[in-house]
Amino acid sequence: MPGYVPHTPADQQAMLERIGLSSLEDLFASIPASLRVNGLLDLPPALSEPEAVRELARIGAKNMDATQAPCFSGDGVYRHFTPSLVPAIMGRAEFFTSYTPYQPERSQGMLQSIYEFQTLTCQLLGMEVANASMYDGASALAEAVVMACSIKGINRAIIPTTLHPAWTKVVRTYAQGQSIEVVLLPHEGGVTDLEAVRAALETPSAALVIPQPNCMGRLEPVQTLAEEADKAGALVIAAVNPIAMALLKPPGEWPADIAVAEGQALGLPMNYGGPLVGLFACRRQYIRQMPGRLVGATVDGEGRRAYTLTLQTREQHIRREKASSNICTNEALFALGATVYMALLGRHGMKRVAELCVERAHEAYDAITALPGWEPVHPGPFFHEFAVRAPLRVPELNAILAGEGIIGPVDLEPDNAMLEQTALFCCTEMITPDDIDRLVGILRKL
C-alpha cells in the first residue's frame, strides 16, 4: 500500500518498553489460554465475489424474517407497516448523508425536519416542548430520570417492575455513575402496586416512572399514579408506546411532567433491534434542563422563516464540562422517518392503526385463551400485547411455530422466573384474521 511503512522490530520493542512490557505475548496475558487460537485459523479457501455472494445468500435463506412470516413477537420493537414514502424521503442524499447541523445556514432542510419532528412529538404526547437526538426510548428515559433528579435536587427515582426490564437496566446504568438511587416497585395483577407506590413516595423522591402500556401489555391506572406522585411532590415521567398514544389519553393529560417513547413503531424498520430513535418531551418550565438538542424557528435578516439550533446541552463548543447530558450524536435520519410517517398518516390514520392493533390483539387473545391449557396471566385491559401461560415452554412453542412459518411470541421467563411458560403475544395492524386463524389452529393441535 503506497505510503504505508511497516513497524520494524525496533519500533515494536520501543513501544513495549514505553508501556512497561517485555514481549508481545505480554499484551495478551489477560486473555485465558483456552480462548486463544494456536496456529492458523481453520478457514476454507478464499472465494471469488460471485461465489461469496452465493454462499451468503444460501446462509441468509435459513432465516425467517417478519417480511416473510406473520410476526407475533413485540416486546419493544414492532412490525408495523412502513409507507413507501418513508424510505423514499429518508434515502434522499441531502438527508441520508447529513450530520449534526452545526452550520444552520447550510442545514435548513435538516433543521426544518427536526423542527417538524419536535412539533409532531408534542402533539402526539400532549406536551409543550420536545427535543431531538435521543438514541432510543430506553436512554431517553434514563436522561429523563437524571433530568428529574437535577430539577428536584433529590437523587432518588421510583420505577415499577412493569417497566420493560431492558429499559430498567439502562436507567440503572446511568444512575450508578451519578449516585442516583433507583427504587423498584412490585406489581399486583400485572399493573403497578398502588400501595407500594404510596409507601415509596413517603420518602422524598425526584420522580415516579409510569409505563403505558407496561411490559406485560397491560394498561396502567396512569391518572391515579400521576396524582399520587403529584401529591408527594415527585415529577411524573411517562414511558409510552407512541402508536397507543393515538388512541389513549396522552401523558400531557395525566398530567406528566416528562414523557419519553421509543419511536421505532412510527414506520421504522425493526433493524434486528436497532438503531432506534427516542422521543422526549416535557413541560415548558423545564426546557433548560432538557438533554439533546432543540431546534427553533426564527426569521433571518430579510424577514424570511429560518431554523436554528436553539439549545445544545452537550456540544463541545457550547457547554463542555457543564453539560447536563452526554448525548452528542444525531438521530435525525430516523427522526425524519418518524416525522414523515406521522405527517403522512395524520391524526385519523394513526388512530386507525391503533384501533386495528387493539382489534387484532383482542381477537387473538379471545381465541387463544379459549383453548385448553392456555390461561391468561393477568386478565385486564391491554393495548396490543398480552401474556398467556402456555402448556409447554415458550422456546419449544416457537420452534414448532417456526416450522409452520410463523414468528412466535416472546418468552417472559428469562426476565422473571415467576413467569414460567409465559408467552407475550403481540398483534399489530400487520397481523390479519387469517394469520390468527393459522396460529390458533396450530396451538389447538398442541
Grade residue 12 by pLDDT with cuts at 50, 70 and 90: confident
Q: What is the DSSP string of 297-350?
A: EEE-TTS-EEEEEEEESS-TTTTGGG-S----S--HHHHHHHHHHHHHHHHHHH
* 61-79 mean pLDDT: 92
Q: Residues 147, 290: contact at Cβ < 8 Å?
A: yes
Q: Residues 166, 76: contact at Cβ < 8 Å?
A: yes
Distance (Å, rounded) from C-alpha 133 to C-alpha 295?
Answer: 11
Q: Residues 325, 135: contact at Cβ < 8 Å?
A: no
Strand-pairing partners, residue 308, are: 296
Distance (Å, rounded) from C-alpha 26 to C-alpha 93?
Answer: 48
The one-letter amino acid at 213: P
Is 125 domain-assigned? yes
Residues 295 and 156 in one domain: yes
* DSSP-H helix ranges across 99-191: 108-125, 137-152, 165-176
* DSSP collapsed to 3 states, 200-224: HCCCCCCEEEEEECCCCCECCCHHH
Residues 304 and 350 in one domain: no
Q: Which domain holds residue 128?
A: 85-342
Residues 215 and 294 in one domain: yes
Mean pLDDT for the chain overall: 91
Residues 266 and 362 in one domain: no
Find cell 438511587 and name the residue: 181
Higher pLDDT, 136 or 101: 136
Is 265 domain-assigned? yes
Residues 338 and 350 in one domain: no
Is 7 domain-assigned? no
Residues 140 and 237 in one domain: yes
Q: Which three three-digit cell numbers place residue 29?
A: 496475558
What pTM was estimated for this model as a whole?
0.87
How many Cβ atoms from other residues are within 10 Å of residue 31's Cβ?
9
The secondary structure element, H or E, covering residue 198 is helix 194-200
Q: Residues 278, 134: contact at Cβ < 8 Å?
A: yes
Residues 325 and 358 in one domain: no
Tens of pLDDT, residue by residue over 187-208, are: 998 999 999 999 999 999 999 9
Residues 287 and 199 in one domain: yes
Give the pLDDT of residue 328. 66
| Region of 41 on the Ramachandran plot (φ > 0 left; ψ -120 to 50 alpha; else beta) | beta
Q: Which three three-digit cell numbers place residue 232?
A: 408527594
Is 266 domain-assigned? yes
Q: Residues 432, 406: contact at Cβ < 8 Å?
A: no
**pLDDT of 2 over the 80 cut:** no
How many Cβ atoms from other residues are within 10 Å of residue 358's Cβ?
18
Residues 252 and 392 in one domain: no
Grade residue 1 by pLDDT with cuts at 50, 70 and 90: very low
CATH number at residue 390: 3.90.1150.10
Q: Which three three-digit cell numbers place residue 338?
A: 418518524
Is 171 domain-assigned? yes
Give the pLDDT of residue 313. 65
Strand order in the sheet with 422-426: 375-376, 385-389, 422-426, 410-411
Q: Give residue 197's Cα distance to chain centre.
A: 25
Domain boundary among 324, 342, 360: 342
Is 246 domain-assigned? yes
Residues 122 and 235 in one domain: yes
Distance (Å, rounded) from C-alpha 107 to C-alpha 371?
Answer: 57
Is 205 domain-assigned? yes
Distance (Å, rounded) from C-alpha 69 to C-alpha 270?
Answer: 14
Distance (Å, rounded) from C-alpha 167 to C-alpha 391?
Answer: 29
Q: Which of 440, 397, 445, 439 is nearest to 420 (CA)?
A: 397
Q: Which of the 8 DSSP states describes residue 130?
A: E
Residues 218 and 122 in one domain: yes
Name the domain count of the chain. Answer: 2
Distance (Å, rounded) from C-alpha 213 to C-alpha 187?
Answer: 14
Q: Which three three-digit cell numbers place residue 113?
A: 425536519
Q: Residues 207, 279: contact at Cβ < 8 Å?
A: no
CATH number at residue 97: 3.40.640.10
Distance (Å, rounded) from C-alpha 247 to C-alpha 271?
Answer: 26
Domain boundary among 277, 309, 342: 342
Q: What is the DSSP string of 272-302?
A: GG-S--EEEEE-GGGGGG--SEEEEEEE-TT
Distance (Å, rounded) from C-alpha 86 to C-alpha 280?
Answer: 21
Domain boundary among 297, 324, 342: 342
**pLDDT of 104 over the 80 cut:** no
**pLDDT of 228 over the 60 cut:** yes
The one-letter amino acid at 434: D
The secondary structure element, H or E, covering residue 422 is strand 422-426
Q: Which three three-digit cell numbers place residue 9?
A: 522490530
**pLDDT of 357 over the 50 cut:** yes
**pLDDT of 371 over the 90 cut:** yes
Is 74 domain-assigned? no
Residues 313 and 357 in one domain: no
Give the pLDDT of residue 5. 44
